[in-house]
Amino acid sequence: MAEWLELHPVNPQKRLLGQVAQRIREGAVVAYPTDSCYALGCHLDDKDAADRLRRIRDFDRHHQFTLVCRDLSEIATYARVDNRQFRLLKQLTPGPYTFILAATKELPKRVAHEKRKTIGIRVPEHVIAQALLETLGEPLISCTLQFPGEDEPVNAPDDYRERLDREVDIVIDGGPCGTVPTTVLDLSEEGVRLVRQGKGDVAALGL
């Protein structure tokens, strides 16, 4: 049975955030709101928790997770970013975008794409997500919360209460947050390639 926590959408309770962060360090899988839709997250160095994310989403072992970071300085630890990429990241973060970048050696091999040596990274613009990352003090391994067989990601977790109770350890209920996933941009090679059009606008990029 999952633990359900209602966090204030503007001033999330620090005491509850501290409890969630400690549980994540101990191996918990959490469902949490973002600026696109709800997501699943776990600790960066927890292989068992990452395997649980794969089972929940019915991913194979080759699936590339996203690393959800607080800010650009945290991105630089796990991905190689040149001046061109940095300017684009600065323009679009925080926001509903996922960027595919070349991974650094700091990144656990199970998180990086095993053939391309890339990683998907994003910085959310959501009060609760940012507060959780700040409290945790490090990125989350993450993926969209969308159950196999469903047409859309989770917008309101209470609509999936029974299923979430079986699958995750903690549900952070921050109210509805939408069903449109992030826009995915591949920056790992020359130029910018649109992989998926989602919530993030790309008009200014000429894509």
* CATH number of the domain encompassing residue 36: 3.90.870.10
Query: Is the separation of the CB atoms in 118 and 102 below 8 Å?
Result: yes
6-15, 104-113, 170-179: which has the minimum mean pLDDT?
104-113
* Alpha carbon 29 to chain centroid, angstroms: 12
Q: Residue 63 and residue 141: Cα distance in Å, rounded? A: 12
Q: Is residue 178 part of a domain?
A: yes
Name the more confident of 206 and 199. 199
- Name the H helices within 80-205: 83-92, 127-136, 161-167
Is residue 114 predicted with pLDDT exceeding 80? no
pLDDT at residue 124 greater than cutoff 80: yes
Cβ 67 vs Cβ 120: under 8 Å:
yes
The pLDDT-based confidence of 109 (bands split at 50, 70, 90) is: low
pLDDT classification of 103: cutoffs 50, 70, 90: confident
Does pLDDT of 62 surpass 80? no
Residue 64 lies in a domain: yes
Please tell me whether residue 144 adopts helix, strand or coil conformation. Answer: strand
- Mean of the per-residue pLDDT values of the chain: 92
Q: Which pLDDT score, from 0 to 100, does residue 106 have?
A: 74
Mean pLDDT, range 57-78, rounded to an integer: 88
Domain that residue 89 falls in: 3-198
Domain count of the fold of the chain: 1
Asked, for residue 108, whether it belongs to a domain, the answer is: yes
CB 87 within 8 A of CB 205: no
At residue 111, the pLDDT reads: 64
| Segment holding 172, helix H or strand E | strand 170-173
Q: Is 68 a residue whose pLDDT tops 90?
A: yes
Note whether residue 205 is domain-resident. Answer: no
**Does residue 203 lie in a domain region?**
no
For residue 171, being part of any structural domain is answered with: yes
Least confident residue range of 13-22, 98-107, 150-159: 98-107
pLDDT of residue 113: 57
Residue 70 lies in a domain: yes
Q: Is residue 132 part of a domain?
A: yes
